[in-house]
Structure 1
Amino acid sequence: MIRTVSAAGALAVALCAGSAQAAVTVIGGGMAEACSDAAIGGESDIKFQQLCTDALDSEFLNARDRAGTLVNRGVLKLRRGTYPEATRDFDQAVKLQPGMGEAYVNRGAASIGQRRYADSLPDINKGLELGLLEPAKAYYNRALAYEGLEDAKSAYFDYQKALEMQPEWAAPREQLARFSVSRR
């Protein structure tokens, strides 16, 4: 018995829903924490991006918080569609904290935003390997990449995994509604 999976609808529908971004919590007060709150809170206004830049330029941050602030600024840039700029932030974060999975997953999301689906997979897989606070977002992003590569079966299973990990999240459920599964 062979299972086939096909997506009903175009990948453009999935990309309009956007990739999922994984922000990093930075505590201790100040601009870096406000930057973290903005990234976690779903903000996209450029003023929050500037807040992150100001934190990086003027606050004393340990390596983890500096890398986290770079990830958070990158997330804000992702939301604004400035993918190359976001990628530079994620690259810097990886150099500072090579064990921070969120930096890799978000760099993968930037590749997806640029329709460089194959390029996104090693980063997303590395982020999953390292561990994440919100792995469902990585599975969702990897599903988007697989759809871009026209691998509907892998996309389906990753959307399923994302929904299994975070059942209250509507985005993977909405994507799964486009699929039909048949047994042959």
Structure 2
Amino acid sequence: MIRFLDFLAAFFGLLLLWPVFLIIILVGFFDTGSPVFIQERVGRHLKPFKLIKFRTMALDTQSVASHLASSNSITKLGAFLRKTKLDELPQLINVLKGEMSLVGPRPNLFNQEELIAERQTFGVYNVRPGITGLAQVSDIDMSTPELLAQTDAKMISSMSLSNYFKYILMTVSGSGQGDRVKS
């Protein structure tokens, strides 16, 4: 049922929001010259996939987890996109392809070995990664691997249709801070 809802939401989201995508892409060309950011992430069953986002950082920013990146790397458009969570919209393509869910653990990088080990312990990789979830609306980011893995496991074990919609509504209404960067 969740996969069906993911597919419908991603399909209609992409269909209805294409003008927003177009505007962000056009403004993004003036901001960084490369408005779309694609990065390999850890997916379900530890399989790699290419996560798609709108670029929020300068092109020369090192490929590290957001909490390890400098806030000086965030562009003016990027700050707006992060605050409004519009940078996440292209992930609807990942959801449509079945690589992600709207709700699930945020996908991490392969170089985040401590987080991978913690998540493996809790069986987090048995589900599709998501755009949002309990950790995101609770302001828990990847800087605390054990807490994040425990929170992800709690979300997975208590996932229901009502929690699915609850996390989406909490995200849309502004709960959580998204991916933090160091000041």
So what's the TM-score if we normalise by structure 1? 0.30
Q: Higher Cα Rg: structure 1 or 2?
A: 1
Higher strand share: 2
More helix by percentage? 1
